[in-house]
Amino acid sequence: MLAIEHLSKSFGPLQALNDVSFTIQPGEIMGLIGQNGAGKSTTFHSILGFLKYSGQIRWHDQPITESVFDEIGYLPEERSLMPKLTVEQQIVYLARLKNKSAKEIKPQIDDWLAKFAVKGKRTDKIKDLSKGNQQKIQLICTLIHQPKLLILDEPFSGLDPVNVDLLEQAIFAAKKQGAAIIFSSHDMGNVEALCDHLIMLKAGHVALSGRLDEVRNQFGKTHLFVTTDWVQARLEQLPQVVKVTQLAPQRYLLQLADPAAGPEIFQQLTQGHYIEEFSQQAPTLDEIFRMKVGETNA
């Protein structure tokens, strides 16, 4: 288990992190979200020992020391491959830094290249690969030693939807093997697709924390999707409806001031008859993110 307790970090007058606490169990995925400068990378760098900080960071109830680094896989936001090395040389070099032998790693390389659909051979130089394929090589370097703690800083940046799916499958495979995983992303769709828990940082503070469903439900089921032959002006007159958005012919999103109005709206819309869609939901994570970021208080 990774346990972060009262983590704080300042850079001169800038308070980058202020009393941040959370835990990640083996086999769990946590999303760390927030605007640029919210403290996400500072959190990662503190876990990895790149920075001095106040508070406690513990892995399985012990401080993270050099002996633990072999169990950690880290993908930085800024890519850092060596362009003159071949794919095989690069993967083996970084694996050996994690105390994996070339004899152990080399037989796995072709399978990993196939798993990530890398367009290139193990004998190709890094500089001759496209940026997307270079990113895949760095992902392989992060995962091939089968880390128990996986830290991914914006891993989906620059990947197309097909390659996002490949990475998501690799993350789920690591979870199934018992890894504790934490990653940051500006794409809330990735967070919703992967995470068991999330932490939202705002100006170094924890603004939201909890299971994804719990976080969404804190904001109430204020979004009502309906398919109806009612016109928009009539829908706007329904109780507690504050906004109506047409999504498609005869399909609308009704935003409610009070989620408790749902049953009454259902009765008025249906009048005992079948309608194709009536779905009352909490705001999406993307909408919640925008709401919290827009608040004036940190």
* 196 and 237 housed in the same domain: no
* 167 and 247 housed in the same domain: no
Bridge partners of 243, per DSSP, are 255
pLDDT at 295: 67
Residue 290 domain flag: no
* 182 and 202 housed in the same domain: yes
Residue 288 domain flag: no
* 179 and 239 housed in the same domain: no
pLDDT at 158: 76
Domain total of the chain: 2
Residue 75 domain flag: yes
* 133 and 248 housed in the same domain: no
Residue 191 domain flag: yes
pLDDT (tens digit, 9 = 90+) per residue, 184-230? 998 898 999 999 999 999 999 999 999 988 898 889 999 999 999 99
pLDDT (tens digit, 9 = 90+) per residue, 263-298? 999 999 999 889 999 999 999 899 899 888 876 544
* 211 and 237 housed in the same domain: no
* 169 and 275 housed in the same domain: no
* 151 and 229 housed in the same domain: no
pLDDT at 7: 97
Residue 298 domain flag: no
How many separate helices (H) and strands (E) can be counted in the chain? 11, 14
Separation CA 36–CA 55 (nearest Å): 23
| Range(s) of the domain holding residue 252 | 223-281
- Which ranges of the chain have pLDDT less than 70? 295-298
CATH of the domain at 84: 3.40.50.300
Q: Is residue 278 within 8 Å of residue 270, measured between CB atoms?
A: yes
Residue among 206, 245, 199, 202 nearest 222 (CA): 245
* 204 and 168 housed in the same domain: yes
* 191 and 80 housed in the same domain: yes
Residue 296 domain flag: no
Residue 50 domain flag: yes
Residue 107 domain flag: yes
| Tokens coding 69 | 């680094």
| Tokens coding 289 | 């993110």
Q: Of the candidates 186, 217, 248, which is a domain's last residue?
A: 217
Q: Of the candidates 201, 217, 233, which is a domain's last residue?
A: 217
* 258 and 178 housed in the same domain: no
* 153 and 252 housed in the same domain: no
